[in-house]
Amino acid sequence: MRPTYAYLGPEGTFTEAALLQVPEAADAERIPAASVSSALELVRTGQVRAAMVPIENSVEGGVSATLDSIATGDPLMIIGEQLVPIRFVLAARHGLELGDLKRVSTHGHAWAQCRGWSSANIPLTEYIPAASTAAAAAGLLDDSCSYDAAICAPLAAEQLGLDVLADNIGDVEDAVTRFILVSRPGALPEATGSDKTTLVVPLPDDHPGALMGILEQFATRGVNLSRIESRPTGQFLGDYFFSIDADGHLTDERIADAIRGLHRISPGLRFLGSYPRADQRSYGVPEHHQDKAFRDAHEWVRGILDRE
């Protein structure tokens, strides 16, 4: 039986493009899910092997739905990441030109990212919110559609056979979105030397140094953080957890040691996986933070305790 993968749908979104970048998923059955949480639910219930969801957007920041969904509920594990360049097109029904447009629809984030181009080129066009860029595009095929054009991914316009009135209309060149492939907990992907470890750390209490205490656990082991984002727990104003990406793999002693330190001060800590970096960037680790230094220290103390 072919493995099955879910992704945040509908078809033709950047998320499907991210999934297609994964060799094992290209031939697999792919199920578009209506939301991040339903995609992850398919993983949790074992209906799919893994799901691809967006986690970070270079323009709009962390994707709250994903950050929150993986931070709570039944445990999940990130097994990979994909970077996808974000390119927006303005797609319309056949026969229309820019000057004809009265209403344009897209997802709120996409609208925000094309604000500059829209103000300059279609200033009088009304904005109609949609649940996704692909849904906005698909709506155009519906005769009763209340708008004339959609901002969407090139893939969607192509799949639906829409006219592209303008290409590459995002305000930020080199915009990129990062996606993660999420499975149920299991054996970790092997360390490659260019890995990333993702954690969810509740702020243990609100005394001034609580966040510093967390950061120190990384700093004293020379662990670099490539991302740190605050998220509300949803309980009350000012109650946060932190979503953190650290450079390295749990099988690296310095990462395991930092995580043990975090577990002591914030036992509600959640480990979300160690997996290869999409950018394959490697990072220098000073000698005294390498595995050998940890093993030497461990044996040295062991030697004292074993004396007779």
- Site residues for a second copy, 164-183, by CB under 8 A, read 172, 174, 176, 178
Residues 33-62 that bind a second copy (CB under 8 A): 56-62
- Based on the shown chain and the rule CB under 8 A, indicate whether residue 293 belongs to the binding site for a second copy: yes
CB of 140 to a second copy, least distance (A): 16
- Rounded CA separation 156/160 (Å): 6
- Based on the shown chain and the rule CB under 8 A, indicate whether residue 304 belongs to the binding site for a second copy: yes
Residues 218-247 that bind a second copy (CB under 8 A): 218-220, 222-232, 234-240
Q: Which of 170, 68, 55, 163 is nearest to 112 (CA)?
A: 170
CB of 167 to a second copy, least distance (A): 21
Q: Which stretch binds a second copy (CB under 8 A): 8-16, 38-46, 160-168, 265-273?
A: 265-273
SS3 of 212-249: the string is HHHHHHHHCCCCCEEEEEEEECCCCCCCEEEEEEEECC
Residue with smaller CB distance to a second copy, 29 or 190: 190
- Based on the shown chain and the rule CB under 8 A, indicate whether residue 117 belongs to the binding site for a second copy: no
Which two tokens mark 110? 């996409």
Output the CA torsion sign for 27, 32, 36, 42: negative
CB of 85 to a second copy, least distance (A): 11
CB of 299 to a second copy, least distance (A): 10
> Residue 296 phi/psi, 5° resolution?
-60, -45
Residue with smaller CB distance to a second copy, 163 or 216: 216
- Based on the shown chain and the rule CB under 8 A, indicate whether residue 23 belongs to the binding site for a second copy: no
Q: How far is CA 300 from each of CA 138, 217, 303, 306, rounded to the nearest angstrom? A: 65, 22, 5, 10
**H-helix segments, the chain:** 14-20, 23-26, 36-44, 64-71, 108-113, 115-121, 133-139, 154-160, 210-219, 253-265, 291-305
Residue with smaller CB distance to a second copy, 31 or 176: 176
Q: What is residue 284's DSSP assignment?
A: -
Residues 203-222 that bind a second copy (CB under 8 A): 206-209, 211-213, 215-220, 222
- Whether cis (ω within 30° of 0) applies to the bond prior to 32 is no
CA distance between the termini of the chain: 60
CB of 122 to a second copy, least distance (A): 16
- Based on the shown chain and the rule CB under 8 A, indicate whether residue 259 belongs to the binding site for a second copy: yes
- Based on the shown chain and the rule CB under 8 A, indicate whether residue 294 belongs to the binding site for a second copy: yes
- Rounded CA separation 39/10 (Å): 11
- Based on the shown chain and the rule CB under 8 A, indicate whether residue 276 belongs to the binding site for a second copy: no
CB of 113 to a second copy, least distance (A): 9
Q: Which stretch binds a second copy (CB under 8 A): 23-31, 45-53, 161-169, 299-307?
A: 299-307
- Based on the shown chain and the rule CB under 8 A, indicate whether residue 145 belongs to the binding site for a second copy: no
Q: Which stretch binds a second copy (CB under 8 A): 7-15, 18-26, 86-94, 285-293?
A: 285-293
In contact, 108 and 129? CB cutoff 8 Å: yes
